[in-house]
Structure 1
Amino acid sequence: MTLLKPNSLAALLLSTAVPALADVTLPALFSDHMVMQADVNAPVWGWADAGEEVTVSLAGHQATARTGADGRWRTNLPPMKSRAEPLTLTVEGKNKLVIQDVLIGEVWLASGQSNMAFQFSRGQYAQAETEAAALPQVRMFTVKAQSTRAPQERCEGAWVVATPETVGAFSAVAWFFGKDLHGRLGTPVGMINSSWGGTDIAAWTSEEAQAGVPALKEAMESWKARAAAFDAAKAEAAHEKRLAAWKEAVRKAKAEGRPAPRGPRKEAHPDVSQNRPANLFNGMISPLIPYALRGAIWYQGEHNCATVEKASLYATQLPLLIQDWRARWNKELAFAWVQLPNFEQTAPRPLVREAMLKSLSVPNTGMAVTIDAGEANDNHPKDKKTVGGRLALWALAKVYGADVPAWSGPLPAGHEVRGGEVVLGFEHTTGGLAARGGELRGFMIAGTDKVWKPGTARIEGGKVVVSSAEVAAPVAVRYSWASNPDGNLFNGAGLPASPFRTDDWEITAP
């Protein structure tokens, strides 16, 4: 065996490193089984040596780019029609990359917290629908979780073709959404799942966007202060103390034949928290930009129900996130979200639902009302088929112009006081208004004293009339204004009405 002198070893390492630096590389999104967005200019980008020319080829189209001084290059492939036959994407500079089994179709981003991350295998329909998941034209890319203080260019993940063996790990909501689009449009569908449980909407929005909003900037400054004050030694000592107490609790539980308690978590530095503002935008959204998308679906908000103050900010935060993402992708990016379902908790959940309803004022947006699809005792309801299906109804109707019976449940459209009654107007009353499962319920009514009483409600054509013998001069009505309400107003297409209120009175407690 020949031993190399230190300077010879350095020369060898340098000689082997140089070709690696010269290699053209791509983001993880550009990999086997990928789906590219049809009918738009499709950005392709990556890294190479400064000045290196890179050629991208797909389906007879070519585009070139010259790498900048920063080692980055980017070009666009021209708009192409949807194609289900597998294509090969080649990227060539000093080396050649070959990406196999590329389809052209519809690409959507699916993001949010645990109910978007919720896997198909855990859902209500897993057993019944697994065999039907043999759909090779539907693919999913799941972004590996990473929380960072600076915007990242790279993420980890891989495109996976839908089969009965692979679908279990897919986001259930994203799967049912994509499956319905594919079934109706007949085109390939690619879903990019970038979600993380228990996270705040602020984590998914860029720091630049939030810095322009005083209330959000204040929260960011608070996180900076927490980071500056963090004492790693104290955190370690506190963890050791909790760990010792936990070990004793485990010993006692074992002796008494009880399940062992969950172990304590070590306090992490605030800089790496998944809830620090912008951290998930930096780590899990930034690396995806500018991959061509048709739109995004969003299932988040549970974390923002913690306090009235947090919930009240959501009406600012959701439109801001949409604006932020559109500024980075394109202003036409379609965007729809899931209005939080029913769940029994002492929290201002109705305020977040109201913020979601109000956010429909943002153009080219939609909302899936799921007030009937939750579970009173589980914040992670297992029926994700209904959720994904309702999001797909909106996309089919409003993004693709498909003829669907209805794409929204009844939404409030004005009201008037008529003597001792309040008359409520609605839009999206396809097939007429209906009370599902008995007499119409879920309405509360109040006068100027702001004391709420149960309302008696009846349907008159496309309107609902509410009154109460206890409220002689009503001024306001609320519908399904509770965390786990029992309202039963639907339209004739079987879609539920959104919770709402006609008043704007200050709410100080859940």
Structure 2
Amino acid sequence: MKVFLVAFFLLVSNLLVRAESIRIKDTITPDKTMVYKTIDNTKLSLHVFNPKGHQITHQTPVIVFFFGGGWVGGNPKQFYEQSRYFADRGVVAISAEYRVHKTHGSTPFDAVTDGKSVMRWVREHASDLGIDPNKIVAAGGSAGGHVAACTGSIEGYDEVGEDLSISSKPNAMILYNPVLDTTEKGYGLAKVGESRKTDISPNHHIKKGMVPTLICHGKADKTVPFENAERFYSAMKEAGNTCQLEAFEAKGHGFFNSSFFRGNKADKIVYTELMQKSYAFLKAQFINSDVKPANLFSDHMVLQRGMHVPVWGTAKASQEVIVSFAGQQKTARADVYGSWHVQLDTLQPSKTGRDLIISGEKDTVISDVLVGEVWICSGQSNMAMQPKAVPEIEALVSKAKHIRSFEVNRTVSLQEEAEVNGSWSAQTSKSAVGFSFACFLEEAGDMPVGIIHNSWGSSSIEAWMPRAMTKEFDYYKTIMDDFDDDTLTQNRIKYIVAKGENRTIKEDVFLRRQPNILYNAMMKPLAPYAVRGLVWYQGERNTRYISGVPEVTKANWFHKVSGMKEYGGILSAWIEEYRKVWQNDAMEFMVVMLPGYGKGTVNTPEIDPNDPTAESWAWMRESQLQVLKLPNTSVINTIDLGAIKNIHPKDKLPIGQRLALEAAKQTLGQNIIAEGPKMKLIVLKKQKLIVNFYNAEGLKTTDGKSPTGFWISDETMQWKSAQAKIKGETVILKSKAIKRPIYIRYAFSGKPDVNLVNGANLPAYPFRTDSED
């Protein structure tokens, strides 16, 4: 009976969610519908989407979409979601109706005539629509892309009686898998006829002076050959026109469609990319004003020494940009998306603040720019803990001289953003770990340090994972597929984000525990800012389960994260993915090992903190250590730190010190001991196990007593606390209860009692030698 009730509950819940999703989907409707032409008693309409608060006194750009369907069928709903996307960004969007053969007995020539009527009507009624008549974009997909392209390329085919003094040509075009050739080389010959096959074939009417055009085309399109788009692009460039062709590998004819129109068949990742490129293109033509650097470039920033430094931003399409700094001058020209990018040559450290000047029609001066070491400090609540919570770290504030911080504002996005919210400051970083790391690194290197603090409490690694990782991890693909289908959650996220700082704590928690959306808003837009590396203090959220992704309920929805045993492989792939995003294979990653803690998993919360077999954080530490298989990685040992009952321990100062030691050795080239002893080799001698270590010079204990935290076992896997003795740079283990010891676990428990250090007083790393079946 209990099983039946649970199943019934889940069934009802799914039905309710599905019903709600359908209800929400149906709310994507136009703000108004307007008839632009009546022909043969047929009224053709425009489905208009306005920005929030739009007034007819406004003069915004407008984008007009034409649906596909081979000139035979289709309807304006195909571009409803795209229209709403643009309206949400301040652009009036229109999804236009035109005649199709199935409904009106019409031809492609009639469709072109209707398309030109739409352009002319929109321009004539600009004051009624609240648009700028000189900022009209014609857009569409497939046959609709053909109609849009014809408005910008084909002469004639004007409706009888229309005022031809009003231009029917758009000011730009955005075309998705468009029909650009109606001959035997393309699509539609049977519908236009052999004798008229080039009459409305855009590829045969390209001339100088055509409007800027963006074409997005799938290379696997079997309906409209990709070669058609290549030919259009080449001819446009030869004529001296602005044209951008975006090729999408392995994508077929309808890849540009949204979920609203195509349901689960839609490629959400590609659709998002299409919309971002489309909006950037429109923005570059009609919205961008003068040169604007990305938000990361502001007063008091620190630039990375010793490597090429990208500087980027936006401007009007084709605008020239000059960046001047430290005797260098670099020039770039904004592309069709309004993006510009320069790369400064390697810089020497500088404690003296200088101006970085970005010139367009006017100069933008970024002042007090230092050069030194730049690190991102990210993770969850233990990275977010502020200096004022740790007196020893707060005491360092007065000693800091050339430390700057960029605080990334905590927000989320359903898509990857181009800009990050935040600013540079000469004030103390809001991360105790980040700030103390910066203080000790500044002292070690005698140079400025910039910390980009980017953390949010209780966030899982999944929250910081890009969608691209769904291709590598099936569990993550399942999580994201479920997330994409959860319309209720997405709408709640939009509602909370719209509230800004007025959101409640409960709403804040709801945002930070979602997958992917922290990465989109807080991490992705940081790239490719030149940084030495990233400090990662996260993992607590992923210690809920020893292994696997749990079944979730309404009560524990936030548990949909990977388990401890899987975490290491995911973290390693995550590091490699971030290096791709930053285009820097040598990017350093320093992972802060989770410190001692006396609680277990959801299944066994109460544990013996010293038990080497318990479901404790020991398994997470082992996973974290897996990243050492990758180059330019390190794990900062905190096994001697932490608190049995407090998941937010205050002993953060040693973490900052150890991070700085590791960075000084690995990135400043200092010949120092930066890590504690690491197990190198185990030797069995009689009834004893001898542990050989790396970094073991001066091996000792902190209290002068015998080493603690060692457990040994034989093939029965019955673990016994070992008697341990230091001999030189080794530790000898034995137990009266184990005659033939085979395996060792050291510090492999929730909150182990450990005292083994090297001469630099750095703790030995936990390890185990037994393997799992």
Place the TM-score, normalised by the shorter chain, in its bin: 0.7 to 0.9
Which residue of structure 2 aligns with residue 284 of structure 1?
A: 522
Q: Is the 8 A contact 2:393 2:436 kept in 1?
A: no
- Please state how far the C-alpha of 1:230 moved relative to its aligned partner: 5.4
Structure 1 residue corresponding to 2:594, chosen from 340, 346, 349:
340
Which residue of structure 1 aligns with residue 167 of structure 2?
A: none
The CA distance in 2 between the partners of 1:278 and 1:235, in whole Å, is 16
AA at the equivalent of 1:324 = E
SS at 1:283 equivalent: helix
Which residue of structure 2 aligns with residue 192 of structure 1?
A: 452
* Cα displacement string for residues 71-100 of structure 1 (whole angstroms, at most 9, x for unaligned residues): 111111111211111111111112321111
Structure 2 residue corresponding to 1:211, chosen from 461, 470, 473:
470
Structure 2 residue corresponding to 1:477, chosen from 738, 744, 749:
744
* Cα displacement string for residues 373-398 of structure 1 (whole angstroms, at most 9, x for unaligned residues): 21222111112211011011011112
* Cα displacement string for residues 299-334 of structure 1 (whole angstroms, at most 9, x for unaligned residues): 111111110110011120121121111122201112
Which residue of structure 1 aligns with residue 441 of structure 2?
A: 181
**Cα RMSD between the aligned structures?**
2.7
- Please state how far the C-alpha of 1:235 moved relative to its aligned partner: 9.2
AA at the equivalent of 1:463 = T
- Please state how far the C-alpha of 1:21 moved relative to its aligned partner: 2.4
Which residue of structure 2 aligns with residue 501 of structure 1?
A: 768
AA at the equivalent of 1:145 = R
Change (3 A) 1:484 1:333: same
Structure 2 residue corresponding to 1:112, chosen from 379, 386, 393:
379
Structure 2 residue corresponding to 1:375, chosen from 643, 659, 676:
643
Q: Which stretches in structure 2 are left out of the alignment for 5+ residues?
A: 1-54, 60-126, 135-282, 494-503, 548-562, 602-615
SS at 1:265 equivalent: helix
Which residue of structure 2 aligns with residue 326 of structure 1?
A: 579
The CA distance in 2 between the partners of 1:90 and 1:477, in whole Å, is 60
The 5-angstrom pairing of residues 124-163 of structure 1 reads 124-126=391-393, 128-133=395-400, 135=401, 137-161=402-426
Structure 2 residue corresponding to 1:49, chosen from 312, 316, 322:
316
Larger radius of gyration: 2
The 5-angstrom pairing of residues 78-93 of structure 1 reads 78-93=345-360
Change (3 A) 1:292 1:127: closer
Q: Is the 8 A contact 2:288 2:338 kept in 1?
A: no
SS at 1:308 equivalent: coil
The CA distance in 2 between the partners of 1:7 and 1:409, in whole Å, is 69
1:224 aligns with 2:481: yes
458-467 or 41-50, which deviates more: 458-467
SS at 2:367 equivalent: strand
Higher relative contact order (CA 8 A, sep 6+): 1
Instruction: Kindly tell me the number of residue pairs found equivalent between the two proteins.
Output: 461
Q: Is the 8 A contact 2:373 2:447 kept in 1?
A: yes
Q: Is the 8 A contact 1:411 1:497 kept in 2?
A: yes
- Please state how far the C-alpha of 1:227 moved relative to its aligned partner: 4.7
AA at the equivalent of 2:423 = A
Q: Is the 8 A contact 1:206 1:277 kept in 2?
A: no
The CA distance in 1 between the partners of 2:644 and 2:515, in whole Å, is 30
Change (3 A) 1:61 1:127: closer
Q: Is the 8 A contact 1:411 1:426 kept in 2?
A: yes
1:39 aligns with 2:306: yes
Structure 1 residue corresponding to 2:506, chosen from 236, 260, 265:
265
Change (3 A) 1:76 1:264: closer
The CA distance in 2 between the partners of 1:212 and 1:227, in whole Å, is 16
The CA distance in 1 between the partners of 2:516 and 2:717, in whole Å, is 39
Change (3 A) 1:58 1:306: same
SS at 2:732 equivalent: strand
TM-score, scaled to structure 2: 0.57
AA at the equivalent of 1:26 = P
SS at 1:316 equivalent: helix
SS at 2:395 equivalent: helix
Structure 2 residue corresponding to 1:425, chosen from 692, 702, 707:
692
Structure 2 residue corresponding to 1:354, chosen from 610, 613, 622:
622
The CA distance in 1 between the partners of 2:393 and 2:131, in whole Å, is 51
- Please state how far the C-alpha of 1:123 moved relative to its aligned partner: 1.1
Q: Which stretches in structure 1 are left out of the alignment for 5+ residues?
A: 1-5, 237-262
* Cα displacement string for residues 147-168 of structure 1 (whole angstroms, at most 9, x for unaligned residues): 223211111111111xxxx42x
- Please state how far the C-alpha of 1:188 moved relative to its aligned partner: 1.2
Identity of aligned residues (%): 33
Q: Is the 8 A contact 1:141 1:157 kept in 2?
A: yes
- Please state how far the C-alpha of 1:505 moved relative to its aligned partner: 2.5
Change (3 A) 1:61 1:264: closer
- Please state how far the C-alpha of 1:13 moved relative to its aligned partner: 8.7
- Please state how far the C-alpha of 1:444 moved relative to its aligned partner: 1.0
- Please state how far the C-alpha of 1:67 moved relative to its aligned partner: 0.8
Which residue of structure 2 aligns with residue 21 of structure 1?
A: 288
1:301 aligns with 2:539: yes
TM-score, scaled to structure 1: 0.84
Change (3 A) 1:433 1:60: same
The CA distance in 1 between the partners of 2:488 and 2:352, in whole Å, is 57
Q: Is the 8 A contact 1:235 1:266 kept in 2?
A: no
